[in-house]
């Protein structure tokens, strides 16, 4: 047995406990850090070859383990830009150098440019809706841009489509002459028609009202002894309300070219529509086309009912920004309408506990963790994003205090071994005197 060997073994033990105490110190220091994942020290023995009755003491070596895959407690806040992940996955953020990294720290706030930045200064990344509904790039970070929620001023969106739902009375009368159809745009337009109006929006956010007229044109014949047929064809004619005639008892004739759209709707004997239901509004005044969908209409023996719902939006200021569980960032306007701005993806790796920890509570992938795979929340095993919430540290403070006491006692015991070896060396030196 080597006295120097036992002293070196004691030194390795003290170094190991110092490493353990370092992880405890990190955990306690970050017990209130959002999204922080606890680290711990793992010990393994280092054995030196021995022969005969001689034993060569070896030592101990340490490695650091991360509890990245352990979920922290979620607490709710008053800020809609605070985000927490319930389940697997990481936010994709970028630092000042523009390199994408991963984090669970979702304490995001607007900076002076409107970008969402967490307490460590990393910008949240997402896919923009500027070019329509985004698609995720599963094997990389291409297409990601900083999520910016600065929506100052007014925003107007022109109507491009609309949906009409309701019922056409199967017992309605059929006009006796073509001149009485609304599409003819004559003062003799029939009263055997149903009218409803819908408000849409032009490019400047101005409201434009359109009048819809539904008129029964024909009923399919059925030879006896079959019951009376109920299959029918209807005409829909649409006009700009601003062009309606004034001063008389009817809105006809409309000025400025008459109808802005006409179409034919057909129904079977069960009252279900058999035509496509697609009819366009082509408005020369606003220079826009609105694709109307009437497939939600039925023809049953009940009173007429109908509601038209276009897309688009009046010139309205942004009131708030909201984020849903799918990661979609919406601008919420004063009139209650919403508009998607970004979609926040999540990323994951095969072995999260093997990720490389970096300053700022962020991680990067490496050969041991596996490659990064990106997806939208609630898809492919990824978790849900909770707005107005934060994931806390997963540090167990009571456990860390216990670890600290154990480390202190173990360090003291190793130092006693070293001191005893030093005393033995003194005995050997004194033998010479």
The 10 Å Cβ neighbour count of residue 391 is 24
Strand partners, 261: 238
Task: Tell me what pLDDT residue 306 has.
Answer: 92
DSSP of 170-233: TTPPPPSSGGGSGGG--TT--SSSEEEEEEEE-TTS-EEEEEEEEEEEEE----TTSPPP--EE
Q: Which two tokens stand for residue 25?
A: 């110190």
Q: For residue 7, what pLDDT band results from cuts at 50, 70 and 90?
A: confident
Bond before 253 cis per omega within 30 degrees: yes
Q: For residue 3, what pLDDT band results from cuts at 50, 70 and 90?
A: confident
Compute φ and ψ for 416, nearest 5 degrees: -65, -40
Task: Tell me what pLDDT residue 428 has.
Answer: 80
Percentage of the chain surpassing pLDDT 90? 67
The candidate with the shortest Cα–Cα distance to 286, out of 211, 205, 185, 195, is 205
pLDDT tens sequence across 265-322 = 999 989 999 999 999 999 999 999 999 999 999 999 999 999 999 998 888 888 888 9
- Angle 311-315-319 from CA coordinates, rounded to 5°: 95
Q: For residue 374, what pLDDT band results from cuts at 50, 70 and 90?
A: very high
- Measured distance CA(171)–CA(183) in Å, rounded: 21
Mean pLDDT of 145-171: 89
Task: Tell me what pLDDT residue 30 has.
Answer: 94
The candidate with the shortest Cα–Cα distance to 235, out of 255, 259, 253, is 259
Q: Which residues, 6+ apart, have CB-to-CB distance to 343 below 8 Å?
A: 126, 127, 129, 134, 326, 327, 328, 329, 376
pLDDT value at 130 more than 80: yes
Are 369 and 68 in contact, with CB atoms under 8 Å apart? no
Task: Tell me what pLDDT residue 67 has.
Answer: 94
pLDDT value at 254 more than 80: yes
Task: Tell me what pLDDT residue 308 has.
Answer: 93
Q: For the chain, how many residues are written? A: 433
pTM confidence score: 0.68
Mean pLDDT of 174-190: 83
What SS3 state is found at 270?
coil
pLDDT tens sequence across 201-241 = 999 999 999 999 999 988 765 555 555 556 899 999 999 99
Q: Which residues, 6+ apart, have CB-to-CB distance to 76 below 8 Å?
A: 388, 389
Task: Tell me what pLDDT residue 117 has.
Answer: 96
Task: Tell me what pLDDT residue 337 has.
Answer: 78
Q: Which residues, 6+ apart, have CB-to-CB distance to 323 below 8 Å?
A: 80, 81, 83, 329, 330, 344, 385, 387
Task: Tell me what pLDDT residue 263 has.
Answer: 95
Measured CA to CA in angstroms, residue 394 lies from 39, 89, 370 at distances of 10, 16, 23
pLDDT tens sequence across 23-75 = 999 999 999 999 999 999 999 888 877 776 777 788 898 999 999 999 999 99
pLDDT, averaged across the chain: 90
Measured CA to CA in angstroms, residue 289 lies from 4, 40, 200, 261, 278 at distances of 90, 63, 11, 10, 13
Do the strands 328-333 and 338-343 form a parallel or antiparallel pair, or are they unpaired?
antiparallel
Give the residue, 422 or 390, on which the prediction is more confident.
Answer: 390
Task: Tell me what pLDDT residue 225 has.
Answer: 53
The candidate with the shortest Cα–Cα distance to 90, out of 388, 390, 383, is 383
pLDDT value at 433 more than 80: no
Compute φ and ψ for 61, nearest 5 degrees: -125, 155
Compute φ and ψ for 136, nearest 5 degrees: -80, 145
Task: Tell me what pLDDT residue 224 has.
Answer: 54
What SS3 state is found at 288?
strand
Task: Tell me what pLDDT residue 58 has.
Answer: 81
pLDDT tens sequence across 382-420 = 999 999 999 999 999 999 999 999 999 999 999 998 888
């Amino acid at each position: 047995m080597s006295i120097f060997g036992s002293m070196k073994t004691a030194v390795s033990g003290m170094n190991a406990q110092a490493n353990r105490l370092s992880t405890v110190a990190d955990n306690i220091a970050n017990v209130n850090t959002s999204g922080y994942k606890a680290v711990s020290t793992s010990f393994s023995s280092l054995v030196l070859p021995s022969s005969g009755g001689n034993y060569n003491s070896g030592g101990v070596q340490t490695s650091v383990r991360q509890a990245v895959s352990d979920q922290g407690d979620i607490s709710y806040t008053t800020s809609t830009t605070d985000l927490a992940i319930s389940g697997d996955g990481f936010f994709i953020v970028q630092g000042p150098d523009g390199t994408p990294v991963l984090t669970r720290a979702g304490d995001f706030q607007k900076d002076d440019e409107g970008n969402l930045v967490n307490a460590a200064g990393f910008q949240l990344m997402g896919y923009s809706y500027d070019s329509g509904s985004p698609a995720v790039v599963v094997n990389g970070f291409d297409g990601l841009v900083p999520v910016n929620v600065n929506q100052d001023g007014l925003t107007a969106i022109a109507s491009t489509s609309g949906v009409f739902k309701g019922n056409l009375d199967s017992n309605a009368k059929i006009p006796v002459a073509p001149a009485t159809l609304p599409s003819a745009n004559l003062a003799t337009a029939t009263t055997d028609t149903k009218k409803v109006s819908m408000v849409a929006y032009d490019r400047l956010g101005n409201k434009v009202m359109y009048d819809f007229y539904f008129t029964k044109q024909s009923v399919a014949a059925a030879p006896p002894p079959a019951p009376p047929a109920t299959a029918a064809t209807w005409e829909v004619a649409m006009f700009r309300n601003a062009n309606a005639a004034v001063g008389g008892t009817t809105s006809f004739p409309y000025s400025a070219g008459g109808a802005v759209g006409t179409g034919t709707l057909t129904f079977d004997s069960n009252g279900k529509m058999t035509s496509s239901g697609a009819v366009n509004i082509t408005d020369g005044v606003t220079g826009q086309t609105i694709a109307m969908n009437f497939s939600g209409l039925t023809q049953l023996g009940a009173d007429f009912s109908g509601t038209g719902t276009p897309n688009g939006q009046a010139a309205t200021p942004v009131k708030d920004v909201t984020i849903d569980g799918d990661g979609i960032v919406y601008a919420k306007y004063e009139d209650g309408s919403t508009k998607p701005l970004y979609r926040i993806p999540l990323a994951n790796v095969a072995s999260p506990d093997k990720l490389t920890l970096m300053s700022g509570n962020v991680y990067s992938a490496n050969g041991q963790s596996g490659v990064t795979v990106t997806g939208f929340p609630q898809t492919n095993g990824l978790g849900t994003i909770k707005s107005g919430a934060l994931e806390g540290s997963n540090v167990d403070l009571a456990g860390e205090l216990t670890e600290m006491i154990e480390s202190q006692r173990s360090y003291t015991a190793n130092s006693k071994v070293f001191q005893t070896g030093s005393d033995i060396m003194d005995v050997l030196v004194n033998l010479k005197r």
